[in-house]
Amino acid sequence: MLKQGDFLFTSESVSEGHPDKVADRISDTVLDAYLTADPEARVACETLVTTNRVILAGEVRGPSSITSEGLIEAAREAIRDIGYDQAGFSWKNAEISNYLHAQSADIAVGVDSAGEKDEGAGDQGIMFGFATNETETLMPAPLYYSHKILKTMRDLRRAGDPRAKGLQPDAKSQVTLRYLNGKPVEATSVVISTQHDEGVDQNVIRNELHNIVKDVLPEGWMPADKEFYVNPTGIFVIGGPDGDAGLTGRKIIVDTYGGAAPHGGGAFSGKDPTKVDRSAAYAARYLAKNVVAAGLADRCTLQLSYAIGVSHPLSVYVDFDGTGKDIDEAKLVKVLREVMNLSPRGIRQHLRLNRPIYTETSAYGHFGRTPDEARDTFPWERTDLVDALRNAFNR
């Protein structure tokens, strides 16, 4: 977790065209297809992508209206939307195999509610949430800017903007910030590796990206030219799943807090919200964000733990890292349990998670995103508990 004092800290992001993110996108596309047909569907979808090949595997329970052919076409459309129509990986002719099968009855009996038994957690595990007031999104600044650089490149590429001429979908960014007295004050280095059309001059790419990054970072934060690295290997023509195999769930630090906070180890994409790896991590972020938004602390780390088939968290832990505003952390734990039902069912109902809202989460981070009120996306980013938390502590 980020400390007080003076130091350098680095986070990275990867684009929607990174092989692992292509896999995440397809897994969440499968999930959304099932939740569209049945909000109570169960999905644990893993995806492998490589040169012109996609493999779906895992366990599902849902309506027969979801066919293998339909899922394959949905995966193909996801690839098309990302922008892949290359010799080594194309939405048109990639071979897509579906090996999804029925969910284990042993898991179902532990998770499903029956009689007096409430719905249990879909697995054991620990989940962390984190928030810090160093950015407007209450996210760590190095990750915030790493994501923003790639999202800007994506938007310009899709719009056909000349500032992204020749860029292809696969890209990575890395931002190192200097902290003074625990606050970010400048970028000391920025690294971008981006796939590009064959024959594009690297100096042209560097100039394009320099202007993009300068616009993204706060004024005066742009690092010295010698600390601005673009395609350090020289060229990056062969990329995406043709350049490297991708798997669901391999970018869990990019998906969460960029290394600035602990991580319980569970991935998100392709998992329905009965899986606490996903839903409880969203709940932990939601609570931590509301604590910081309420002004109770500058930073908040929150841990939840669960056991498979058990309907309540085994523990709730809060740490302000010395930034609390005269708040008793033990009392806060009690208050948090009161303002939100932290059972798997309670989390799903409070955040309305049984909806097809997950495709958008598959790239550029699950946290720090702006909720869309019309579509009610990213509901765990709302700050609607602020008043209740302030009232509990007479603020």
Half-sphere exposure of 37 (CA within 13 A, CB side): 18
Q: What percent of the chain lies above the pLDDT cut of 90?
A: 88
275 annotated to a ligand binding site? yes
Residue 113 pLDDT greater than 60, yes or no = no
The predicted structure's pLDDT at residue 116: 46
The lowest-confidence range among 154-158, 161-165, 219-223 is 161-165
Q: Would the annotation count 271 as a binding residue?
A: yes
Domain range for 85 is: 19-111
Q: How many other CB atoms are there within 10 angstroms of residue 69's CB atom?
A: 8
Residues 271, 183: one domain?
Answer: no
Residues 258 and 214 in one domain: no
Let me know if 38 is a catalytic residue: no
Is 92 annotated as a binding-site member? no
Q: Mark out the alpha helices in 229-359 (DSSP H runs).
A: 240-243, 252-255, 276-293, 329-339, 344-351
262: helix, coil or strand?
coil
Whether the predicted pLDDT of 259 surpasses 80: yes
Cα distance between residue 317 and residue 280, in whole Å: 13
Q: What is the CATH number of the domain that holds 304?
A: 3.30.300.10
* pLDDT score at 2: 65
Residue 151, annotated ligand binder? no
Report the pLDDT value the prediction gives residue 63, as an integer from 0 to 100: 95
Q: For the CA atoms of the chain, what is the radius of gyration?
A: 21
Residue 122 has pLDDT above 90, yes or no: no
Whether 281 has a binding-site annotation, put simply, is no
Measured CA to CA, the distance from residue 380 to residue 286 in angstroms comes to 5
- Give the chain's domain count: 3
In this prediction, residues 171-183 reach a mean pLDDT of 96
Same domain, 234 and 148: yes
Q: What is the mean pLDDT of residues 198-221?
A: 96
The verdict on 81 and 147 lying in the same domain is no
Q: For residue 244, is it within any domain?
A: no
- Strands 42-50 and 183-196, by their bridges, are unpaired
- Considering only residues 315 and 120, tell me which one the structure prediction assigns the higher pLDDT: 315
- Catalytic annotation on 227? no
18 in active site: yes
Is 21 assigned a catalytic role? yes
**338 within a domain of the structure (yes/no):** yes
Considering 25, 157, 250, 366, which one is annotated as catalytic?
250
- Supply the pLDDT for residue 110: 56
pLDDT at 108: 55
Q: Active-site residue 331, yes or no?
A: no
Exposed, middle or buried: residue 226 (CB in 10 Å: 0-12, 13-18, 19+)? exposed
Mean pLDDT, the chain, whole residue set? 94
User: Which one of 245, 312, 337, 355 is the catalytic residue?
Assistant: 245
Whether 360 contacts 40, CB under 8 Å: no
3 state DSSP class of 300:
strand
Active site residue 198: no
Residue 226 annotated to the active site: no
Q: Are residues 203 and 271 in the same domain?
A: no
3-state secondary structure of 255: helix
Residue 243 lies in a domain: no
* pLDDT digits 0-9 by tens, 275-334: 999 999 999 999 999 999 999 999 999 999 999 888 899 999 999 999 999 999 899 999
Q: Which residue in the block uniquely carries the two structure tokens 């799943």?
A: 241
Give residue 117's pLDDT.
Answer: 47
Residues 234 and 189 in one domain: yes
Residue 150, classed as helix, strand or coil, is helix
Count of residues in the chain? 395
Return the half-sphere exposure (C-beta side, CA atoms, 13 A cut-off) of residue 30: 36
The answer to the question of residue 117 being in a domain is no
Q: In this structure, are 256 and 330 located in the same domain?
A: yes
Q: Is residue 87 part of a domain?
A: yes
What's the mean pLDDT in 119-147? 93
Tell me the two tokens of residue 120.
């249990």
109 pLDDT above the threshold of 70: no
Q: How many whole angstroms separate alpha carbon 89 and alpha carbon 259?
A: 31
Integer distance in angstroms from the first to the last C-alpha of the chain?
27
pLDDT tens-digit map of 64-101: 999 999 999 999 999 999 999 999 999 999 999 999 99
The alpha carbon torsion through 386, 387, 392, 394 (nearest 10 deg) reads 110
| pTM for the predicted model, two decimal places | 0.95
Q: Using CA of residue 158, residue 162, residue 168, residue 172, what is the dihedral sign?
A: negative
Q: What angle do CA 269, 275, 280 make, to 5 degrees?
A: 90
Nearest residue to 174 via CA among 204, 140, 215, 146: 146
Among residues 238, 267, 291, which one ends one of the domains?
A: 238
CB 163 within 8 A of CB 205: no
The answer on 267 and 229 residing in a single domain is no
73 catalytic, yes or no?
no
pLDDT of residue 374: 84
Domain match, 185 and 291 both: no
User: What are the CA-CA distances from residue 336 to residues 56, 317, 341, 381 (Å)?
Assistant: 38, 10, 9, 16
